Amino acid sequence: MVVLPPIAKLKGLALDFLFPPRCVSCGRGGDFICASCRRSLIRITPPLCPRCGLPQPGGVLCPGCLRWQAEIDGIRSPFRFEGVIRQAVHQLKYQNLRALAAPLAGWLGEYFQSNAMPAEVLAPVPLHPKRLRERGYNQAKLLAEELGRLINLPVAADCLIREKPTPPQARSSTVEERRRNVAGAFACRDRRLEGQQVLLIDDVCTSGATLNAAAAAVKATGAATVWGLALAREI
Protein backbone atom coordinates (compact mmCIF):
# COMPACT_ATOMS: atom_id res chain seq x y z
CA MET A 1 0.00 0.00 0.00
CA VAL A 2 1.32 3.43 -0.86
CA VAL A 3 1.09 5.93 2.00
CA LEU A 4 0.51 9.35 0.62
CA PRO A 5 1.83 12.31 2.59
CA PRO A 6 -0.92 14.42 4.12
CA ILE A 7 -2.25 16.93 1.67
CA ALA A 8 -1.47 19.80 4.03
CA LYS A 9 2.21 18.88 3.94
CA LEU A 10 2.22 18.79 0.15
CA LYS A 11 0.54 22.15 0.11
CA GLY A 12 3.18 23.52 2.47
CA LEU A 13 6.00 22.28 0.28
CA ALA A 14 4.35 23.74 -2.80
CA LEU A 15 3.88 27.08 -1.04
CA ASP A 16 7.52 27.20 0.05
CA PHE A 17 8.54 26.47 -3.50
CA LEU A 18 6.18 28.98 -5.06
CA PHE A 19 6.60 31.64 -2.40
CA PRO A 20 10.12 31.55 -0.93
CA PRO A 21 10.66 34.03 1.95
CA ARG A 22 10.66 37.64 0.84
CA CYS A 23 11.62 40.64 2.91
CA VAL A 24 8.42 42.04 4.47
CA SER A 25 9.69 45.55 3.90
CA CYS A 26 11.56 45.78 0.58
CA GLY A 27 10.49 42.52 -1.05
CA ARG A 28 14.02 41.21 -1.63
CA GLY A 29 14.05 37.39 -1.78
CA GLY A 30 15.80 35.06 0.65
CA ASP A 31 14.78 36.24 4.10
CA PHE A 32 11.70 37.56 5.89
CA ILE A 33 13.68 40.62 6.91
CA CYS A 34 16.74 41.20 4.73
CA ALA A 35 20.12 42.29 6.07
CA SER A 36 19.76 45.82 4.80
CA CYS A 37 16.29 46.31 6.35
CA ARG A 38 17.59 44.78 9.57
CA ARG A 39 20.17 47.54 9.76
CA SER A 40 17.40 50.14 9.55
CA LEU A 41 15.61 48.91 12.70
CA ILE A 42 15.35 51.61 15.33
CA ARG A 43 16.48 50.37 18.72
CA ILE A 44 15.39 51.82 22.04
CA THR A 45 18.56 52.59 23.93
CA PRO A 46 19.25 53.77 27.50
CA PRO A 47 18.87 55.90 29.49
CA LEU A 48 15.36 54.57 30.17
CA CYS A 49 12.75 55.04 32.86
CA PRO A 50 13.39 51.93 35.00
CA ARG A 51 9.66 51.17 35.17
CA CYS A 52 7.94 51.94 31.85
CA GLY A 53 11.10 51.62 29.76
CA LEU A 54 10.61 54.85 27.82
CA PRO A 55 13.70 56.91 27.05
CA GLN A 56 14.29 59.16 30.03
CA PRO A 57 17.31 61.40 30.67
CA GLY A 58 19.33 60.25 33.66
CA GLY A 59 17.55 56.87 33.75
CA VAL A 60 15.27 58.03 36.57
CA LEU A 61 11.51 57.48 36.94
CA CYS A 62 9.67 59.45 34.23
CA PRO A 63 6.99 62.01 35.18
CA GLY A 64 4.23 59.55 34.14
CA CYS A 65 5.55 56.81 36.44
CA LEU A 66 6.06 59.28 39.29
CA ARG A 67 2.40 60.29 39.07
CA TRP A 68 0.94 56.81 38.65
CA GLN A 69 1.77 53.62 40.51
CA ALA A 70 1.67 50.85 37.91
CA GLU A 71 1.03 47.19 38.68
CA ILE A 72 3.71 46.08 36.27
CA ASP A 73 7.26 46.19 37.63
CA GLY A 74 8.95 47.01 34.35
CA ILE A 75 8.40 47.12 30.59
CA ARG A 76 11.12 46.76 27.97
CA SER A 77 11.16 46.67 24.18
CA PRO A 78 14.07 46.29 21.80
CA PHE A 79 12.57 48.38 18.98
CA ARG A 80 10.50 51.42 18.20
CA PHE A 81 7.24 50.52 16.49
CA GLU A 82 8.19 52.13 13.19
CA GLY A 83 9.26 51.23 9.67
CA VAL A 84 10.37 47.64 9.17
CA ILE A 85 9.18 46.37 12.57
CA ARG A 86 5.76 47.91 12.03
CA GLN A 87 5.52 46.13 8.67
CA ALA A 88 6.73 42.86 10.17
CA VAL A 89 4.22 42.98 13.04
CA HIS A 90 1.44 43.74 10.57
CA GLN A 91 2.37 40.68 8.51
CA LEU A 92 2.62 38.47 11.59
CA LYS A 93 -0.72 39.68 12.92
CA TYR A 94 -2.97 40.22 9.97
CA GLN A 95 -1.40 38.44 6.99
CA ASN A 96 -1.03 35.02 8.61
CA LEU A 97 2.76 35.10 8.18
CA ARG A 98 3.35 32.98 11.28
CA ALA A 99 6.83 31.98 10.14
CA LEU A 100 7.93 35.51 11.09
CA ALA A 101 7.56 34.63 14.77
CA ALA A 102 10.90 32.78 14.75
CA PRO A 103 13.17 35.61 13.55
CA LEU A 104 11.28 38.19 15.63
CA ALA A 105 11.55 36.03 18.76
CA GLY A 106 15.25 35.70 17.97
CA TRP A 107 15.62 39.44 18.48
CA LEU A 108 13.59 39.28 21.69
CA GLY A 109 15.97 36.55 22.82
CA GLU A 110 19.06 38.62 22.07
CA TYR A 111 17.53 41.56 23.91
CA PHE A 112 16.62 39.40 26.90
CA GLN A 113 20.15 38.00 27.12
CA SER A 114 21.74 41.44 27.24
CA ASN A 115 19.15 43.29 29.38
CA ALA A 116 18.58 41.88 32.83
CA MET A 117 14.96 41.37 33.86
CA PRO A 118 13.51 38.86 36.32
CA ALA A 119 11.86 35.92 34.53
CA GLU A 120 11.13 32.33 35.47
CA VAL A 121 8.10 31.83 33.26
CA LEU A 122 6.80 33.50 30.10
CA ALA A 123 3.11 34.39 29.69
CA PRO A 124 1.83 35.71 26.36
CA VAL A 125 -0.77 38.47 26.52
CA PRO A 126 -3.94 36.64 25.45
CA LEU A 127 -6.46 37.69 22.84
CA HIS A 128 -10.16 37.72 23.64
CA PRO A 129 -11.62 34.33 22.51
CA LYS A 130 -13.69 36.04 19.81
CA ARG A 131 -10.61 37.73 18.34
CA LEU A 132 -8.69 34.46 18.58
CA ARG A 133 -11.40 32.69 16.57
CA GLU A 134 -11.30 35.37 13.90
CA ARG A 135 -7.51 35.36 13.59
CA GLY A 136 -6.91 31.68 14.23
CA TYR A 137 -3.81 32.28 16.36
CA ASN A 138 -2.38 34.63 18.95
CA GLN A 139 0.76 36.31 17.65
CA ALA A 140 2.00 36.98 21.21
CA LYS A 141 1.75 33.26 21.96
CA LEU A 142 3.78 32.42 18.85
CA LEU A 143 6.47 34.87 19.99
CA ALA A 144 6.44 33.53 23.57
CA GLU A 145 6.78 29.92 22.43
CA GLU A 146 9.69 30.67 20.11
CA LEU A 147 11.34 32.80 22.79
CA GLY A 148 10.80 30.15 25.47
CA ARG A 149 12.67 27.63 23.33
CA LEU A 150 15.53 30.07 22.77
CA ILE A 151 16.06 31.15 26.36
CA ASN A 152 14.96 27.87 27.91
CA LEU A 153 12.02 29.16 29.96
CA PRO A 154 8.60 27.54 30.31
CA VAL A 155 5.58 29.22 28.71
CA ALA A 156 2.30 29.44 30.62
CA ALA A 157 0.09 30.10 27.63
CA ASP A 158 -3.37 29.37 28.99
CA CYS A 159 -3.24 30.73 32.54
CA LEU A 160 -4.06 34.29 31.72
CA ILE A 161 -7.35 34.90 29.93
CA ARG A 162 -8.91 37.97 28.38
CA GLU A 163 -12.45 38.26 29.63
CA LYS A 164 -13.36 41.63 28.21
CA PRO A 165 -12.91 42.47 24.55
CA THR A 166 -11.14 45.78 24.39
CA PRO A 167 -12.20 48.27 21.76
CA PRO A 168 -9.50 49.05 19.20
CA GLN A 169 -7.58 51.92 20.73
CA ALA A 170 -7.90 55.11 18.80
CA ARG A 171 -4.49 56.64 18.26
CA SER A 172 -5.81 59.85 19.74
CA SER A 173 -6.99 58.29 23.02
CA THR A 174 -5.20 59.44 26.12
CA VAL A 175 -3.32 57.09 28.39
CA GLU A 176 -6.10 57.49 30.99
CA GLU A 177 -8.72 56.41 28.43
CA ARG A 178 -6.63 53.42 27.43
CA ARG A 179 -6.20 52.37 31.05
CA ARG A 180 -9.94 52.70 31.67
CA ASN A 181 -10.78 50.65 28.54
CA VAL A 182 -8.55 47.77 29.50
CA ALA A 183 -8.93 47.77 33.31
CA GLY A 184 -10.22 44.42 34.56
CA ALA A 185 -9.97 42.90 31.08
CA PHE A 186 -7.80 40.00 32.24
CA ALA A 187 -8.11 37.21 34.77
CA CYS A 188 -5.92 34.31 35.83
CA ARG A 189 -7.50 30.89 35.50
CA ASP A 190 -5.46 29.23 38.26
CA ARG A 191 -2.64 29.86 40.71
CA ARG A 192 0.16 28.41 38.60
CA LEU A 193 1.96 31.76 38.55
CA GLU A 194 1.90 32.17 42.32
CA GLY A 195 5.31 33.08 43.69
CA GLN A 196 6.79 33.19 40.17
CA GLN A 197 8.75 35.84 38.32
CA VAL A 198 6.47 36.30 35.33
CA LEU A 199 7.51 37.89 32.05
CA LEU A 200 4.53 38.92 29.92
CA ILE A 201 5.17 38.77 26.17
CA ASP A 202 3.43 40.93 23.58
CA ASP A 203 4.09 42.11 20.05
CA VAL A 204 3.50 45.81 20.53
CA CYS A 205 3.27 48.08 23.55
CA THR A 206 1.47 51.36 22.98
CA SER A 207 0.75 53.07 26.30
CA GLY A 208 1.56 50.09 28.52
CA ALA A 209 -2.10 49.98 29.64
CA THR A 210 -2.68 46.45 28.30
CA LEU A 211 0.49 45.02 29.85
CA ASN A 212 -0.37 46.75 33.10
CA ALA A 213 -3.91 45.34 33.17
CA ALA A 214 -2.55 41.87 32.47
CA ALA A 215 0.04 42.37 35.22
CA ALA A 216 -2.72 43.30 37.67
CA ALA A 217 -4.43 39.93 37.05
CA VAL A 218 -1.17 38.02 37.42
CA LYS A 219 -0.24 39.90 40.60
CA ALA A 220 -3.70 39.19 42.04
CA THR A 221 -2.86 35.48 41.98
CA GLY A 222 0.32 36.12 43.93
CA ALA A 223 3.07 36.39 41.30
CA ALA A 224 6.34 37.60 42.83
CA THR A 225 7.22 40.01 40.02
CA VAL A 226 5.64 40.84 36.68
CA TRP A 227 7.63 42.38 33.84
CA GLY A 228 6.60 42.92 30.25
CA LEU A 229 8.67 42.39 27.12
CA ALA A 230 7.16 43.66 23.89
CA LEU A 231 8.86 43.41 20.54
CA ALA A 232 8.14 47.02 19.66
CA ARG A 233 7.11 50.14 21.44
CA GLU A 234 5.21 53.16 20.24
CA ILE A 235 7.06 56.25 21.36
Contacts with Zn ion by CB under 5 A lie at 23, 25-26, 28, 34, 37, 49, 51-52, 62, 65
**65 or 193, CB closer to Zn ion?**
65
Angstrom distance (rounded) from CA 120 to CA 155: 9
**73 or 145, CB closer to Zn ion?**
73
- Looking at the DSSP assignment, which residues form a beta bridge with residue 68? none
- Please report how close the Cβ of residue 144 comes to Zn ion at its closest, in angstroms: 24
- Please report how close the Cβ of residue 41 comes to Zn ion at its closest, in angstroms: 11
**51 or 219, CB closer to Zn ion?**
51
Omega of the bond leading into 126 within 30 degrees of 0 (cis) = no
Angstrom distance (rounded) from CA 32 to CA 27: 9
- Please report how close the Cβ of residue 28 comes to Zn ion at its closest, in angstroms: 5
CA distances (Å), origin 85, targets 52, 74, 125, 179: 20, 22, 19, 25
Backbone angles phi, psi at 171, to 5 degrees: -60, -25
- Please report how close the Cβ of residue 155 comes to Zn ion at its closest, in angstroms: 27
Q: What share of the chain is helix, strand, coil (3-state, %, to 5)?
A: 40, 15, 45
Q: Cβ of 165: how many Cβ atoms within 10 Å? A: 12
- Please report how close the Cβ of residue 187 comes to Zn ion at its closest, in angstroms: 26
**104 or 121, CB closer to Zn ion?**
104
- Please report how close the Cβ of residue 75 comes to Zn ion at its closest, in angstroms: 8
- Please report how close the Cβ of residue 203 comes to Zn ion at its closest, in angstroms: 20
**51 or 93, CB closer to Zn ion?**
51
**151 or 235, CB closer to Zn ion?**
235
**52 or 232, CB closer to Zn ion?**
52
Burial annotation 180-198 (CB, 10 A radius, 16+ → b, else e)? ebbeebbbbeeebbeebbb
DSSP, collapsed to helix, strand or coil, labels residue 208 as: coil
Any long-range contacts for 59-67 (C-beta under 8 Å, 24+ apart)? Answer: 64/175
